[in-house]
């Protein structure tokens, strides 16, 4: 039996662990929860075996804060913060190969909350008056 599949292989961008033309995109809202799955890895999983998935942020391994957890092939952020913005890469080993998928997370939210966070980060003081 012959099987035909389509395969796209891309070189990583210089200094990165992914090709920016081949990444996925997700949006999250400040202070809400967000799940980021490791997309399109079904063909690289062994049956009846839990996948060993490593997660990176900006291509670096990280000590994740307590409000971030992992369930199977999904990274779970229980309360999204401004510093969660960035590129999340999952890595799955498949025999001698390594399969990576990168998702860029953008964060949106209440304009007042965003303004407060930006000003707090830059150490500005401000007062919002209702008109």
Q: What percent of the chain has pLDDT over 90?
A: 61
* Res 42: pLDDT: 86
What is the pLDDT confidence band of residue 122, given thresholds at 50, 70 and 90?
A: low
Is residue 13 situated within a structural domain? no
Region for residue 115 given its phi and psi (left: phi exceeds 0; alpha: psi -120 to 50; beta: otherwise): alpha
Q: What is the pTM of this model?
A: 0.78
Indicate whether 62 belongs to any domain. Answer: yes
Q: Identify whether 84 is part of a domain.
A: yes
Query: Which residue segment(s) compose the domain that 73 sits in?
Result: 20-41+48-121
Number of domain units in the chain: 1
Q: Give the mean model confidence (pLDDT) for residues 99-128.
A: 72
pLDDT digits (tens, 9 = 90+) for 41-75: 988 888 888 788 999 999 999 999 999 999 989 99
CATH classification at residue 97: 2.60.40.10
């Amino acid at each position: 039996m012959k099987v035909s599949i389509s395969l796209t292989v891309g070189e990583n961008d210089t200094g990165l662990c992914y090709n920016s033309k081949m990444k996925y995109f997700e949006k999250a809202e400040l202070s809400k929860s967000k799940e980021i799955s490791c997309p399109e890895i079904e063909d690289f999983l062994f049956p009846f075996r839990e996948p060993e998935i490593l997660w990176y942020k900006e291509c670096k391994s990280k000590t994740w804060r307590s409000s971030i957890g992992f369930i199977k092939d999904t990274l779970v952020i229980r309360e999204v913060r401004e510093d969660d913005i960035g590129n999340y890469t999952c890595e799955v080993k498949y025999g001698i190969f390594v399969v990576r998928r990168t998702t860029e997370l953008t964060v949106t939210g209440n304009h007042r909350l965003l303004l407060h966070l930006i000003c707090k980060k830059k150490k500005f003081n401000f007062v919002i008056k209702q008109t």
